[in-house]
């Protein structure tokens, strides 16, 4: 489910992802508090903020996360070939550019040795293909899992590509990325995914989650919330994610320069380093440098990731 982000013509958004036109927002209404409690932080009340394609979206007054009203969603939305054909262009462009950088950032900042790297909800697996093209010497390190794949003829032939959910399988992961996925999930489905990810993560595993946060949506346009064409039913705040991920012993690290992504570490306290990912910018894990050192373009990959983070700190 590695999907597109902001709408509006045929340009690139600040995250390097393709954008396409979507239904125009139906207008921002004055706040109307409901009796519904936020399913993300389980604390704040939800306030009506906007309607998109006839679907109301509500924002939590405590954590700021935004979610669609389930009962108003269309019943005919599906991750079918029509959906995937709309996504192919943007996923291809992203997988061979910005998503490679995100993977490099994880290698640069991960506090444990990376033996297995996961692309969470990998779409048709193009990031696996791009990583293997750049780093063929360690292609076996990369894995991808997709629960709603396109037809088989459109999927990656990479040995690490798997159809199913994260809970299935036995491989434990040390690192990974989740690119344009969680905006497709309601909080209960996100909790299920995070729980499954935690069950398959080694202590200290580091993941980058790329998804537009409420500040990004408000700044760039509510059209990102698109329930009918792109399946974007939520926009999660870092505050909300800190509470939700903590339920599974995962620590969320916000990135002030990015209102479209965050890092999450599984049980970092068990590594006994006492560091955040950003503390490791100049102290990368030696084993990970050694692994990339076996690749022709390994140093390029590492420095592309490191300098991308450095430029925004």
Query: The CATH number of the domain where 196 resides is what?
Result: 3.40.50.150
The Cα-based distances of 202 to 109, 165, 222 in angstroms read 16, 18, 37
Query: What residue numbers bound the domain in which 198 lies?
Result: 78-310
User: Please, which pLDDT band fits residue 37 given cuts at 50, 70 and 90?
Assistant: very high
Output DSSP code: residue 2. -
Q: Is the pLDDT of residue 291 over 90?
A: yes
Residue 127 domain-assigned?
Answer: yes
Residue 2 forms part of a structural domain: no
Could you give the number of structural domains in the chain? 1
Tell me whether residue 16 is exposed, middle or buried, using C-beta atoms within 10 angstroms of its C-beta: 0 to 12, 13 to 18, 19 or more: middle
- Region 274-301: mean pLDDT is 95
**pLDDT number for residue 169:** 87
Let me know if residue 73 belongs to a domain.
no
Q: What is the gyration radius of the CA atoms in the chain, in angstroms? A: 19
Mean pLDDT of 228-251: 97
Give this prediction's pTM: 0.90
pLDDT at 14: 39
- Answer whether residue 99 is part of any domain: yes
Can you give the pLDDT at residue 86? Answer: 87
Quick one: pLDDT at residue 109? Answer: 97
pLDDT value, residue 21: 35
121 found inside a domain: yes
Spatial CA neighbour of 210 closest among 58, 106, 77, 80? 106
Residue 57 in domain: no
Angle between helix 126-134 and helix 98-109 axes, rounded to 10 deg: 70
- Compute the average pLDDT of residues 142-147: 97
Contact 116, 172 (CB under 8 A): yes
218 near 59, Cβ under 8 Å? no
Buried b (16+ CB within 10 A) or exposed e, 84-96: beebeebbbbbbe
Alpha-carbon gap, residue 122 to 106, rounded angstroms: 16
CB 13 within 8 A of CB 212: no
Rounded to 5 degrees, φ, ψ at 70 are -55, -45
Instruction: Provide φ and ψ at 120, rounded to 5°.
Output: -80, 125
Express each pLDDT in 127-137 by its tens digit: 999 999 999 99
Tens digit of each residue's pLDDT (9 = 90 or more) over 7-31 = 322 233 434 443 333 344 454 444 4
Q: What does DSSP assign to residue 151?
A: P
2 half-sphere exposure, CB direction, 13 A CA radius: 29
Evaluate whether 113 touches 285 at the Cβ level (below 8 Å): yes
pLDDT beyond 80 at 238 = yes
**Residue 301 CB partners (closer than 8 Å, separation 6+):** 100, 103, 104, 107, 134, 135, 292, 295
Separation in Å, CA 55 to CA 49, 71, 185, 230: 11, 9, 15, 13
Percent of the chain with pLDDT over 70: 89
Could you read off the pLDDT of 49-107 as tens digits, one per residue? Answer: 999 999 999 999 999 999 999 999 988 888 898 899 888 888 999 999 999 999 999 99
Of the two residues 238 and 10, the one the predictor is more confident about is 238
CA-based torsion, 261, 193, 97, 148: positive or negative: negative
Judge contact between 211 and 180, C-beta under 8 A: yes
Task: For residue 273, name the pLDDT band (cuts at 50, 70, 90).
Answer: confident
């Amino acid at each position: 489910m590695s999907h597109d982000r902001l709408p509006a013509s045929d340009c690139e958004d600040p995250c390097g992802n393709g954008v396409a036109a979507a239904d125009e927002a139906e207008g921002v209404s004055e706040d109307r508090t409901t009796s519904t409690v936020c399913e993300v932080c389980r604390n704040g009340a939800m306030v009506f903020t906007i309607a998109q394609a006839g679907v109301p979206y509500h924002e939590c007054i405590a954590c700021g996360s935004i979610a669609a009203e389930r009962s108003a969603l269309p019943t005919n939305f599906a991750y079918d070939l029509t959906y995937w054909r709309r996504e192919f262009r943007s996923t291809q462009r992203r997988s061979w550019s910005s998503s490679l950088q995100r993977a490099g950032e994880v290698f640069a900042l991960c506090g444990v040795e990376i033996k297995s790297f996961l692309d969470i909800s990998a779409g048709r697996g193009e990031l696996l293909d791009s990583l293997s093209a750049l780093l063929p010497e360690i292609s076996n390190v990369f894995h991808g899992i997709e629960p709603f794949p396109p037809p088989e003829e459109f999927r990656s032939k990479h040995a690490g590509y798997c159809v199913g959910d994260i809970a299935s399988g036995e491989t434990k992961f040390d690192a990974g990325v989740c690119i344009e996925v969680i905006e497709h999930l309601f909080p209960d489905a996100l909790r299920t995914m995070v729980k499954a990810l935690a069950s398959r993560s080694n202590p200290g595993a580091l993941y980058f989650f790329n998804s537009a946060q409420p500040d990004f949506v408000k700044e760039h346009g509510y059209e990102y919330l698109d329930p009918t064409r792109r399946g974007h039913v939520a926009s999660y705040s870092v505050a909300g994610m800190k509470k939700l991920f903590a339920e599974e012993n995962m620590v969320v690290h916000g990135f002030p320069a990015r209102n479209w992504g965050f890092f999450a570490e599984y049980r970092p306290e068990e590594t006994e380093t006492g560091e955040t990912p950003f503390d490791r910018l100049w102290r990368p894990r030696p084993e990970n440098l050694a692994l990339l050192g076996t690749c022709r373009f390994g140093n390029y990959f590492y420095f592309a990731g490191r300098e991308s983070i450095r430029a925004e700190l």
